[in-house]
Chain A
Amino acid sequence: ETGVTQSPTHLIKTRGQQVTLRCSSQSGHNTVSWYQQALGQGPQFIFQYYREEENGRGNFPPRFSGLQFPNYSSELNVNALELDDSALYLCASSLASGSIYEQYFGPGTRLTVT
């Protein structure tokens, strides 16, 4: 059984650019959640995908968007990058949506916007 993987590990982008981050779910998991963790803060929920549909969204603007593919891997896309988007982006997969299902976290992608 493989764990949650994310790519790339680190990324540097310029303000105004677009970025795509990738996440592979743990084997057998059909739900992926994305979180943003700014320095010194706890992870903040961006959105969740369940069976390829967005299942819920946090307080993030529409320039944060996502996709989930039939193999349940996922992408997070951020357009028009701002300096405040610099953060660690975490994805977490679970067997299904809902409170009883444990979320397993990936190692994160560190995004720096200059």
Chain B
Amino acid sequence: AQRVTQPEKLLSVFKGAPVELKCNYSYSGSPELFWYVQYSRQRLQLLLRHISRESIKGFTADLNKGETSFHLKKPFAQEEDSAMYYCALKGSGGSNYKLTFGKGTLLTVNP
């Protein structure tokens, strides 16, 4: 079974502070991990995927298979980063068609 856990429902930081949104997963095979973001009054959109190993809007995420984690990090948060963030997993092989989402973390960056 595939499962994604985001332990923090809410996260509040000040502008310029580092931010880390936690994501843990459960999957027996080789998963592909994603972070999706939903800004206020906008649709859900892909932020980054582990396979790309890139930094988007200053955010990075490293897949740690030993700890089954895919935490999202940014060294200096900006007010425009305030949004809902979802971690998602896609399985391999026969289950590579569906995304399994966590419950999301609402990030608020205060001025």
Contacts and interface: CB of A to CB of B under 8 A. Distances in A.
Interface of A: 4, 33, 35, 40-45, 48, 50, 55-56, 58, 90, 97-100, 102-108
24 contacts: A33-B98, A35-B99, A35-B101, A42-B4, A42-B86, A42-B101, A43-B44, A45-B99, A48-B97, A55-B97, A56-B95, A56-B97, A56-B98, A58-B98, A90-B44, A97-B97, A98-B96, A99-B92, A100-B51, A102-B46, A103-B99, A105-B43, A105-B44, A105-B45
Nearest to A42: B101
Interface string B70-111: 000000000000000010101110011111111110000000
Interface residues of B, number: 24
A23 to B, nearest CB: 12
B46 A99 contact: no
Interface of B: 4, 6, 32, 43-46, 49, 51, 86, 88, 90-92, 95-104
A99 B32 contact: yes
B89 to A, nearest CB: 10
